[in-house]
Amino acid sequence: MRIYFFAVFIFCIFMLGAALFLQLVMGLQPCPLCVLQRMILSVIAVLALLATILTTRDGWLPRLWSLLLFLGGAASLGVSIYQVWLVSQPKEAAASCGPGLEVAIDKAVAYLPQGEWTELLYRSTASCTDGLSKFFGIEVAVLTLPVFIVLALFLLWLLFKRYDEYYY
């Protein structure tokens, strides 16, 4: 079971690395919803690492970790769906990222240890509907939606998976 939790951890680290690559190398600036997804991925990564380290052969503990991970995956999928819906709206009718979302994220970031990486990962500098976050001509939100669907489905499978002692 630990191998699955560790795979989720590695996947989240890869996704956060890809987000930094798009931001630092490709010059795409994150919007508040992108930052919210980064925060959720960070929480999933920490939970998956804790699950990898702390999971025993006990029957209820892997289920608890799986449930927490699935809730995080469902939250990231929900944000991704909302973001794709936002960018699919006509520019004249497009809504903002959400009322006060940037302020709420800034308040949450204030509780984190401050440093260069916190600023890079969790500060938004773009609008959700400005259309600047395109990679190969396709909105990044549209490109990442299938990834978040696969993550949520994998975490759902992990939640209902039968745990045998051979999988530890």
Q: Say which CATH number the domain at 107 has.
A: 1.20.1550
pLDDT per residue as tens digits for the range 92-143: 655 666 666 666 777 777 777 766 667 677 777 667 666 556 667 777 888 8
Report the distance separating Cα 50 and Cα 66, nearest Å.
11
Compute how many other C-beta atoms are within 10 angstroms of the C-beta atom of residue 31: 27
The residues near 111 (Cβ < 8 Å, ≥ 6 apart) are: none
Cβ atoms of residues 156 and 71 within 8 Å: no
pLDDT of residue 28: 82
Q: Which residue has the higher pLDDT, 87 or 144?
A: 144
Alpha carbon distance, N-terminus to C-terminus of the chain:
5
- Domain holding 60, by residue range, is 2-167
pLDDT more than 70, % of the chain: 74
Mean pLDDT of 11-35: 88
Q: Which residue has the higher pLDDT, 71 or 55?
A: 71
Q: How many domains does the chain have?
A: 1
